[in-house]
């Protein structure tokens, strides 16, 4: 039988341990393993027509991959949307919302190409009027920054914030794991050359650098802005919530309560 002080001690420990999980914002963004041959209805495919090199073909391959086959001249840079396909879903809850999205991408089936990128994309409030995207994180083949090497790039319209050349020991074209994290007013870009979860931070940017754009939709893209076509293959698209900062404060309150109970017991 617990004495009264000990019983209170147990209640505080349970509350402190469970509050952060309970306070974590639910992720309203739908994860997708790209199984079968029919796209989940949550996705919207935007692939402008009119490219003289032919249309972009976006489909499931039946083996658990989403494949974007994109002809040359399909750009998405600065003010130029051109013909690059975006596969996106709406972020249901208004920002600021904390969440992360990640994917595994292979470009061109392991064969290096020139100036092609595939990865994660975030669209915001001004995308339709001015910019093709808010932030993007992609695997690039034929990087102009790395003297022809494959690279990972974190970008906002008109500016490459950060990039890293993929080591020569990594298979050309990937696979590479990419992650974008929305936490408060900050976007952080992470990548891994080995597995999802073994993340290395590439860079970050705040809303103040994005003209106050909130993300309205998120998803994946592939672009090819020179004379070469591109094939981006995506193994999955995952989303999960990032715990709200308030939950950490409640956790700290639980710890303080625990210390007060210990002091009472000694008295």
Same domain (yes/no): 176, 47? yes
Residue 151 has pLDDT above 90, yes or no: no
Residue 183 sits in a domain of what CATH number? 2.60.120.200
Element (H, E) at 89: strand 86-90
Same domain (yes/no): 248, 208? no
- Residue 222: name the closest of 146, 121, 133 by CA: 121
Same domain (yes/no): 145, 202? yes
Dihedrals phi, psi of 5, to nearest 5 degrees:
-60, -40
Compare 209 and 102 and report the one with higher pLDDT.
102
The whole-number average pLDDT for the span 202-225 is 85
Q: Could you write out the three-class secondary structure of 179-237?
A: EEEEECCEEEEEEECCCCCCCEEEEEEEHHHHCCCCEEEEEEEEEECCCCCEEEEEEEE
The whole-number average pLDDT for the span 119-129 is 80
Distance CA 238, CA 199 (A): 15
Least confident of 65-69, 111-115, 147-151, 251-255: 251-255
Same domain (yes/no): 98, 34? yes
The whole-number average pLDDT for the span 208-212 is 73
Residue 144 has pLDDT above 80, yes or no: no
Residue 245 has pLDDT above 70, yes or no: no
Q: For residue 48, what are the domain limits?
A: 26-242
- What percentage of residues in the chain have a pLDDT greater than 90? 43
- pLDDT band at 127, cuts 50/70/90? low
- Round the average pLDDT of the chain to a whole number and report it: 78
Same domain (yes/no): 57, 171? yes
The whole-number average pLDDT for the span 125-133 is 73
Residue 212 has pLDDT above 70, yes or no: no
Same domain (yes/no): 44, 143? yes
Residue 142 has pLDDT above 70, yes or no: no
pLDDT at 10: 37
Same domain (yes/no): 153, 174? yes
pLDDT at 84: 94
Compare 56 and 213 and report the one with higher pLDDT.
56
Same domain (yes/no): 137, 203? yes
Compare 13 and 199 and report the one with higher pLDDT.
199
Per-residue DSSP letter, 262: H
The whole-number average pLDDT for the span 170-187 is 87
User: Into how many domains does the chain fold?
Assistant: 2
The whole-number average pLDDT for the span 58-69 is 97
Same domain (yes/no): 160, 104? yes
Compare 240 and 79 and report the one with higher pLDDT.
240
Compare 154 and 110 and report the one with higher pLDDT.
154
Per-residue DSSP letter, 142: S
Same domain (yes/no): 15, 72? no
Residue 195 has pLDDT above 60, yes or no: yes
Residue 127, token pair as written in the block: 């995308």
Same domain (yes/no): 13, 128? no
Distance CA 62, CA 208 (A): 42
Compare 253 and 100 and report the one with higher pLDDT.
100
Same domain (yes/no): 47, 178? yes
């Amino acid at each position: 039988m617990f004495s009264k002080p000990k019983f209170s001690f147990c209640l505080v420990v349970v509350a402190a341990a469970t509050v952060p999980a309970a306070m974590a914002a639910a992720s309203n963004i739908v994860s997708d393993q790209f199984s079968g041959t029919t796209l989940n209805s949550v996705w919207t495919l935007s692939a402008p027509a009119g490219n003289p090199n032919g249309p972009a073909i976006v489909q499931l391959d039946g083996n658990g991959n989403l494949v974007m086959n994109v002809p040359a001249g399909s750009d998405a840079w600065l003010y130029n949307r051109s013909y690059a396909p975006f596969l996106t879903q709406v972020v249901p809850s208004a920002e600021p919302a904390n969440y992360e999205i990640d994917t595994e991408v292979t470009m061109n089936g392991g064969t290096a190409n020139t100036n092609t990128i595939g990865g994660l994309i975030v669209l915001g409030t001004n995308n339709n009027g001015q910019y093709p995207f808010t932030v993007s994180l992609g695997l690039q083949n034929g990087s102009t920054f790395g003297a022809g090497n494959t690279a990972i790039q974190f970008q906002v319209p008109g500016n490459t914030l950060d990039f890293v050349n993929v080591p020569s020991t990594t298979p050309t074209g990937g696979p590479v794991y990419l992650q974008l994290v929305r936490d408060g007013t900050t976007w952080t870009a992470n990548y891994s050359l080995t597995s999802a979860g073994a993340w290395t931070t590439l860079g970050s940017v705040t809303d103040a650098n994005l003209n106050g754009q909130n993300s309205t939709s998120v998803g994946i893209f592939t672009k090819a802005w020179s004379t070469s076509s591109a094939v981006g293959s995506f193994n999955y698209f995952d989303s999960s919530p990032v715990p709200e900062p308030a939950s950490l404060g409640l956790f700290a309150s639980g710890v303080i309560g625990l210390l007060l109970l210990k002091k009472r017991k000694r008295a």
